[in-house]
Chain A
Amino acid sequence: MQVTETWVQQCSRLATTIRSHCLRMTHHGKSGHVGSMLSMAEILAVLYERILRVDPARPKWPERDRLILSKGHGGGALYAVLAEHGFFPGEWLMTYYCDDGKLMGHISHHVPGVEFSTGSLGHGLPVAVGMAIAARYRSQKHKIYCIVSDGDINEGSTWEAIFFAAQHHLDNLMVILDYNRVQALGFAKDVLDLEPLTEKLTSSHWAVREVNGHEVLELEKALSGAPFEPGKPSWVTAHTIKGKGVSFMENTVACHYGSVNDEQLAQALNELGVH
């Protein structure tokens, strides 16, 4: 695969577009969780531009790669990238969180291109594991990707699935942690310190790589590398910044539930270079 500036620029541009959509959607819908959306914009951009084998014309194509967004509260960002990739009309985005809207606050499988509904944390990885088992049983070649958050890793069910996936050598499975280190009520290290996380995972027989979750090249290299080790599930810890791209949101607890007012929206879009 030849690395050119063009696709890197495309991914970066898409990430910015995702962010601008999320800000507008949450502003219009007067909803929260925008900080959790902004932190995974590059992850989603790289997945949809470079990694996932999916077809907007055939959202249920049996050979598609599966992506489960376990941090369903950040679903606005997934809606944004799906709209950009033509899974549904772009006009739907501004119905997010609105009466009789097309897009509910947490990610919904009733939307074309969304594999699985989440919203309560700790649900995504067990289901992804089940899909990986099913794919292996039928010798299918697609991969299963699951995006999790810090909060997801608080949940015991996620750890149940971590142990089980390794036990059964599910190397068709990749977890991507959007590690923005901020959760609903505080910084992760103060709420429930996950560190040393890589050691926990490698000692649980996962193959782990850590990347800067806002660097497109690093992300693409890691996300395209599954399995990192044959016979082991793969884990990418993407170090990210909550609220990334908007100065007054970055690395703040407030931006978990927060959205923006008119003035803040204008400032945020200006900082993103979007007009």
Chain B
Amino acid sequence: MRGVFNQALLEIAKNDDRIFMVLADIGYGEIEPFAEAFPDRFFNVGVAEQNMTGVACGIAMEGNIAITYSIANFPTLRCLEQIRNDACYHNVNVKIVIIGGGLAYGALGMSHQATEDIAIMRSLPNMVVVAPCDFAEAVAATHAMIEHSGPLYYRCGYKKEPDIHQQPIDFELGRAIQVRDGTDAAIIFTGTIGNQAAAAVEELEKDGIHCRLISMHTVKPLDKECVIAAAKETGAIITLEEHNVSGGLGGAVAEVLLDAGVQPKKFLRLAIPDRYVSLVGSHEWLLDRFGLSAPKIEASVRQLLAA
């Protein structure tokens, strides 16, 4: 997905000279085409994320669109105060792109696992939070990111994620995409973990369990109507995210439902437990250990509906 993102951005930047990339010595093998095409709009600040974000804000305040880009937590947590005070408070066109949210970097360890980013980013006023699930959403989200006026957080996949959408999508920030309909339960996911959900839903379907599958590519602003409709029409809501169970998509969905006075009969948040990941293993292995692989999701849904 990161390649798809970079290619899409490169194409957009050819026709929009407001677009700058400001990065902090991360992006090897991906960002070179932009750097070569637009050397005067490409800045590697060195390993200095606070300056990266501040410089991006200064560039954006002059009517430009500045993209900060790095992996996992580097462009968010080290420079969180720059994101809050500089980019969000001034409401400028700084777009923060991370490659590899959640457990994507597997055995690299805890420092490289972005597991609180959605909660933190969505708590910032003016910030939009986006996590595309496949290549089609990634391209559409890149265009939407540039068209949106204001700060935006883009959680980009790391690998060659398979397509979830089997047909052209109608992508709009803040409006979820229903991947398939179903009446027994609704699985609302964000980001590339949707692949696991799609596989789980296929298996459940074989046993006559019809799950609605929803890609909540924009966690903020959340598509409230979609969430409320899913709760009313299926009675069972399962949220799925590659993120700490606190404050992310699951929390956002619960907030919407309680605020609206809608209580589904069953509600389950599938997420990473509230502890740091000290296990060593690949992305797929870690997902399975935390109950986020397709078989584990399938089992959780069966258990929820049987209870």
Contacts and interface: CB of A to CB of B under 8 A. Distances in A.
Contact of B40 (A116, A123, A137, A160): A137
B55 A126 contact: yes
Interface stretch (A48-56, A161-169, A209-217): A161-169
A156 B50 contact: yes
B152 to A, nearest CB: 18
Give chain A's interface secondary structure class. helix
Interface string A105-141: 0000100000011111011011111111111011000
B48 interface: yes
Contacts of B45: 160, 164
A138 B41 CA distance: 11
Greatest chain B CB density within 10 A among A118, A126, A130 is at: A130
Contacts of B41: 137
B82 interface: yes
Given A131-B62, A137-B41, A123 B54 contact: yes
B90 A117 contact: yes
Interface string B45-78: 1101011011111111111101000000000000
Contacts of B89: 117
A116 B61 contact: yes
Contacts of B66: 130
A137 to B, nearest CB: 6
B90 A123 contact: no
Greatest chain B CB density within 10 A among A120, A129, A160 is at: A160
Contact of B60 (A118, A130, A132, A164): A130
A157 interface: yes
B117 interface: no
B56 A130 contact: yes
Contacts of A117: 85, 89-90
A120 B51 contact: no
A164 B46 contact: yes
Contacts, number: 91
A134 B46 contact: no
B58 to A, nearest CB: 2
Contact of B61 (A119, A127, A164): A127
Contacts of B242: none
A34 B129 CA distance: 40
A157 B82 contact: yes
A126 B85 contact: no
Given A120-B81, A134-B62, A137-B41, A164 B55 contact: yes
A212 to B, nearest CB: 30
Contact of A129 (B51, B64, B86): B51
Contact of B59 (A109, A118, A123, A131): A131
A135 B43 CA distance: 15
A134 B58 contact: yes
B81 A126 contact: no
A156 B82 CA distance: 13
A130 B87 CA distance: 12
B61 A131 contact: yes
A60 B137 CA distance: 37
A157 B64 CA distance: 22
A126 B40 contact: no
Given A120-B85, A157-B82, A129 B54 contact: yes
B60 to A, nearest CB: 7
A151 to B, nearest CB: 15
A164 B59 CA distance: 14
A160 B50 contact: yes
A270 B82 CA distance: 42
A135 B63 CA distance: 11
B76 to A, nearest CB: 15
Interface of A: 109, 116-120, 122-123, 125-135, 137-138, 156-157, 160-161, 163-164, 168
Given A127-B54, A130-B60, 14 more contacts: A117-B90, A118-B85, A123-B85, A127-B57, A127-B58, A127-B86, A130-B54, A130-B56, A130-B61, A156-B50, A157-B48, A160-B48, A164-B48, A164-B51
21 contacts: A109-B90, A123-B54, A123-B82, A123-B85, A123-B86, A126-B86, A127-B54, A127-B57, A129-B54, A130-B56, A130-B58, A130-B60, A131-B58, A131-B61, A131-B62, A133-B55, A157-B48, A157-B54, A157-B82, A161-B55, A168-B43
| CB-CB nearest 8 A-B residue pairs | A130-B58, A126-B54, A160-B51, A134-B62, A160-B48, A157-B50, A130-B55, A127-B58
